[in-house]
Amino acid sequence: MRNGTDRLRALNVPQRVQVELDEQRRPRVVKREAGNEKRVESFGENWRMDDEWWRQPIVRRYVEVVLEGGGRVVLFEDLITGEWFVQMPT
Amino acid sequence: MTLTPHLASDAAACCWIPLFALRSELARRPELVSLPVALLAPDTAHTPRVWQVAPLARRAGVKPGMTVSQAIGLCPGLKLCEPDPVHYDEQFARLVAALVTVSPVVEPVEVGRVFVGTDGLEGLYGAPEGIVEAIQMRSAECGMRNVLNAECGMRNAECKGKRREANDPSLKFRTPHSEFRIGWGRGKFVAWVAATRAKPGEAVIVPVGGEAKFLASQPLAVLPLDPDTHRRLLQLGVKTLGALVALPEEAVVSQYGHAGRRLWRLAAGLVSEPVVGRVVPEPIVAALTFFSSVGERDLLAHALDKLVDRALGDPRRSGWRVQVVRVHAELEHGASWLVEATLKDPSATRERIAAPLKTQLERSPPAGAVERLVVEFTAFAPGTAELQLFARDAGAAARAGRRRALQSAVREIALRIRRPMLYHIIEVQPWSRLPERRYALIDFET
């Protein structure tokens, strides 16, 4: 039997991506891996989230986008590390 | 099987097997016995919660009502089992059917707890000690030894203890290696409290007239109290039924109203709720006359299914499982055909009832074409509250059926590909602002 930590698998874990930004610091191109990049076709809502300031602060800037091909995803920038991630919209 | 107009009894024996569902599961899957195991609740498909917890898991802090993530957080090695209420109900129905052979007055309350009315049994078994012994013997003979002896992850130290003589008016008996506990007394409340005081395999008998003395030392928790009343009484320093009874009845009534009066009287041993059995239904008959005589076995089997369905739908059958089913056919030229099946496990599902009849139809079919087919349920076994739920609530029955089908599919997949591929989605922190913390996957285990 596996132990408890491998038994629970979080759903909708953010995937790290490379993002090219436009002059307004909005994502223009999203690269998941080499050769797999998609242009952002339109923007939806954007919001900021500050959480868990009492232990390991989490500060994110979210933006909802539609990629070329029609895929709707949520991108966020970790404002502490500067890294970008993609997540499925909820 | 007799038809009795008033099946009630003041003298009551409460038979109690704690964690009955979990024990049934462990009896079926002995490989789990030495593991920390918990059973998930049957009615919480969207947010699975822990229902019954084996002692090993309880030692790690797992408690009933916890979410799966909380439970696994406390006990990483926890083995979670999907519940199979139909199976537990079937197991319990066997026990109840065995108890009906001791007394016709049997009142199942929930899976694992049943009252047996014992008025008038003195002539057969003598004193309450003899009645209790008869109940213990019949329960041991009902083929549930595995369930009654399932260890739930540890052999309770109490089981190894020596027989203790009672210091209070109650007497204790012991059946080694059994989880079956019996309490005997006047009225259901006294019998139930006595059963909760009995150690595994033992019985506690409260002699008539000794109720107040027996109850006085019992903790307040044995009363059917809501948590708020329980807390308020504890804050007032009332910790035992004796302390409650020491208060003037009117004072308790002025604080807690009508419910307070009932609690005070229960605590004083003044309330004696009788065990109420149910009148066994008369035979239920469903018949079908064919337009033209039928000789094809497929058609007859189909007609059997329809008739069993129709008989099961009879409102008199609600709350009862079928134990004996009989089919007779009127054949061409005045001949007849008759088969009877006694179900080892009384059932309320068409497939199980019709299966032995169809087998007999294949083995020894009618000698001619059938003009009229009659299905008759002639003997019944009492069901439980869950059984009544299944019988009355088609939705619950359908859910149980789907769960069984799913479990069977999962077993097949696991056998074929030898690794888990199916998961439950469970809520971890559904309130979290971080989407990745809200839900998680956990192996779907049968």
Confidence of residue B5 (pLDDT cuts 50, 70, 90): very low
CA B297 from centroid of its chain's CA atoms: 38
C-alpha span between B192 and B175 (Å, rounded): 18
Least Cα separation, residue A19 to chain B (angstroms): 21
The closest CB to that of A4, out of B76, B437, B438, belongs to B76
pLDDT given at position B193: 94
Q: Which chain A residues are Cβ-neighbours of B35 within 8 angstroms?
A: 1
Average pLDDT value for chain A = 87
pLDDT at B411: 76
The residue in chain A having the minimum alpha-carbon distance to the alpha carbon of residue B420 is A7
B184 in Cβ contact with B128 (< 8 Å): yes
Q: Report the amino acid identity of residue B152.
A: C
Residues in chain B whose Cβ is within 8 Å of chain A:
35, 69, 72-73, 75-79, 423, 425-426, 428, 433-443
Predicted complex ipTM: 0.87
Instruction: Provide the shortest C-alpha distance from residue B73 to chain A (in Å).
Output: 7
Interval B3-20 mean pLDDT: 81
Q: Which of B52-61, B135-144, B280-289, B400-409 reaches the highest mean pLDDT?
A: B52-61
Comparing B51-60, B97-106, B315-324, B391-400, the range with the smallest average pLDDT is B391-400
Quick check: A49 and B437 CB within 8 A?
no
**Whether the predicted pLDDT of B360 surpasses 80:** yes
| Separation of alpha carbons A20 and B214, rounded Å | 80
- CA dihedral over B133, B139, B143, B148, signed as positive or negative: negative
Angle at B166 between CA B163 and CA B167, to 5 degrees: 140
- Flag whether pLDDT at B67 surpasses 80: yes
Most confident of B77-91, B154-168, B234-248, B414-428: B234-248
Domain ranges of chain A: 14-87
Q: How far apart are the first and last CA of chain B?
A: 39
Domain ranges in chain B are 8-205, 284-383, 393-443
Distances (CA, A) of B289 to B307, B314, B333, B373: 11, 19, 15, 6
Give the pLDDT score at A57.
Answer: 92
Q: For the domain B284-383, what is the CATH code?
A: 3.30.1490.100
Contact, B290 vs B370, CB < 8 A?
yes
| Whether the Cβ atoms of residue A63 and residue A76 lie closer than 8 Å to each other | yes
Question: B380: pLDDT confidence band, cut at 50, 70 and 90?
Answer: confident
The pLDDT, as a whole number, for residue B391 is: 43
**Amino acid A67: pLDDT:** 93
Taking CB atoms and an 8 Å limit, are A13 and B439 in contact across chains? no
The Cα of B224 is separated from the nearest Cα of chain A by a number of Å equal to 37
pLDDT tens-place string over residues B317-332: 777 788 889 898 888 8
Say what the pLDDT of residue A16 is. 93
Instruction: Give the model's pLDDT for residue B154.
Output: 41
Contacts of A1 in chain B (CB under 8 A): 35, 77, 79
Q: What confidence tier does B45 reach under pLDDT thresholds 50, 70, 90?
A: low
Architecture of domain B8-205: 2-Layer Sandwich (3.30)
Contact B76 A90 (CB under 8 A): no
Q: What is the mean pLDDT of residues A57-82?
A: 93
* Range from A10-14, B128-132, B151-155, B405-409 carrying the lowest mean pLDDT: B151-155
Q: Which of B433, B435, B442 sits opposite A87 (nearest CB)?
A: B435
Highest mean pLDDT of the ranges A52-66, B71-85, B224-238: A52-66
Q: Rounded to whole angstroms, how far apart are CA atoms B423 and B406?
A: 12
What's the rounded mean pLDDT across residues B220-240? 88
Contact A10 B75 (CB under 8 A): no
